[in-house]
Amino acid sequence: MVPVNYYIVLSAILFTIGVLGVLTHRNALIIFMSVELMLNAANLAFVAFGSAIQSFSGQIFVFFVIAVAAAEVAVGLALIVEIFKSKRSIDVDQISSMKG
Contact of 34 with 73, CB cutoff 8 Å:
no
Site for another protein contains 19 (CB under 8 A): yes
Query: Is residue 12 at the binding interface for another protein, with CB under 8 A as the rule?
Result: no
Query: What residues numbered 20-59 form the site for another protein, per CB under 8 A?
Result: 22-24, 26, 31
Nearer to another protein, 27 or 51 (CB): 27
Q: Which of 54, 86, 88, 98 binds another protein (CB under 8 A)?
A: 98
